[in-house]
A and B are shown apart, each in its own frame.
Chain A
Amino acid sequence: MSKKSKRNKSAREIPAATAPAAATAPAPAKSVSRKGLFVGAAIVLIVAFVVATLLYTSEKQESSRQLVQQNVEALASAHSPAKGPPDARVHIVEFLDPACETCADFYPEVKKLMAEHPGAIRVSMRHVPFHKGSEHVVRILEAARGQDLYWQTLEALFAAQDRWTINHAVHVDQVWPALRGVGLDQERVGREMNGADIATRMERDMADAKALNVTKTPEFFVNGRPLPRFGLKELRDLVNDEVRKPARGPGS
């Protein structure tokens, strides 16, 4: 079959070659129009993609802004561990998972932001253990608050994250070795981590994350404003913008 079509094709080309002026003239024209059709279609497809992307992202930004406005109480974090003066001008509410790599990457950046604007930033941590087995680690973190060692525990966990989170799954038996230097009373943590108040706080965090459509970590809300797009630059810009705003009442 393929041979036949080849023969047919060459048969078609022979008269064209023998009568150059008359027969070849329409051929390039057709080829040009085909190319035009192809390029035109490619441009239409790409433009459609770009327009859809712009529409989708602007709509998504708008809806997440509205979602926050409708769920302001979901950003409340009186029950959450916080750092920085309570009346700080900028209040960052971070939703984080201790087993999330990006959260570990962003943690020093948030600290850097706080150092750049001393006294102007307060950070509250909400826990959303999306990773498998991460709930156990959040329980330890919550229990560490009872010993005033929350931030030390979090930093130790992030520093050794690759040893207890392997392939996005928490290896529970590897968590305690990572916390050896923190000075936690392990027995007390073990006693308290399954307490009802911790369970309530964890449920609250998860329910609020759901209300705010937090599906990925870390997620930041700066004075109630979501990031326009996920990224370190976006976070820095948003924080700088809020720091520069004229002073107002106590942070939301």
Chain B
Amino acid sequence: MSTRAADIAWGLVFAGWLVAAASTLGALFFSEVMELPPCVLCWYQRIFMFPLVLVLPLGLFPFDAKVARYALPLAAGGWLVALYHLLLVAGWIPERAGPCVQGVPCSELQVQWLGFVNIPLLSFVAFSTLAALLVAAHFRSAR
């Protein structure tokens, strides 16, 4: 791996950390400041997202070319839950198939901007970006 490739890979993982940290703070803002109760699916996505804020820096200092090995599974797991949540919100999966028995129904949208941007979509975009960055970093490092 050339120094340049390593630099690029480091930058990609760092960008991934930015995404994870911003998502985590955003999620905390929704629940703790705006006091929107997170639904069950949101909690599962949080379980995948929050650890990345701590795990990714461990791969950055010192740079670990294998960081994707342990970060990507989290990003992929979160991505799957986010995809499911997005389909639920879009109505492609019927609500009763969802795991929400009590509390906040996962199919209920609490926030909507510009008519289509909602929290599940933000989550899905964040996990997709994270996964893409980690995959890219992996191939950069492998070169």
Contact = CB atoms under 8 A, between A and B. Distances in A.
Give the interface SS of chain B, mostly helix, strand, loop or mixed. Answer: helix
A18 interface: no
B60 A49 contact: no
A57 B29 CA distance: 11
B60 A5 contact: no
A182 B33 CA distance: 41
A130 to B, nearest CB: 12
A200 interface: no
Interface string B1-30: 101000000100010011001100100110
Contacts of B14: 34, 37-38, 41
A245 to B, nearest CB: 30
B112 interface: no
6 contacts: A5-B66, A5-B141, A9-B1, A45-B21, A56-B33, A168-B102
B102 A8 contact: no
The 4 closest A-B pairs by CB, nearest first: A5-B65, A8-B1, A49-B25, A53-B33
B66 to A, nearest CB: 6
Contacts of B117: none
Interface of B: 1, 3, 10, 14, 17-18, 21-22, 25, 28-29, 33-35, 57, 60-62, 65-66, 69, 102, 141-142
B32 to A, nearest CB: 8
Contacts of B29: 49, 52-53, 56
B21 A42 contact: yes
A2 B69 contact: yes
A138 B8 CA distance: 64
A48 B29 CA distance: 11
B33 A34 contact: no
A21 interface: no
Given A57-B33, A168-B102, 9 more contacts: A2-B69, A5-B1, A9-B65, A12-B3, A34-B60, A35-B61, A38-B60, A42-B21, A45-B22
Contacts of B28: 49
A181 to B, nearest CB: 32
A53 B62 CA distance: 33
Interface string A1-40: 1101110110010000000000000000001001101100
Nearest to A48: B25
Contacts of A46: 25
A2 B102 contact: no
Contacts of A41: 14, 17-18, 21
A245 B61 CA distance: 58
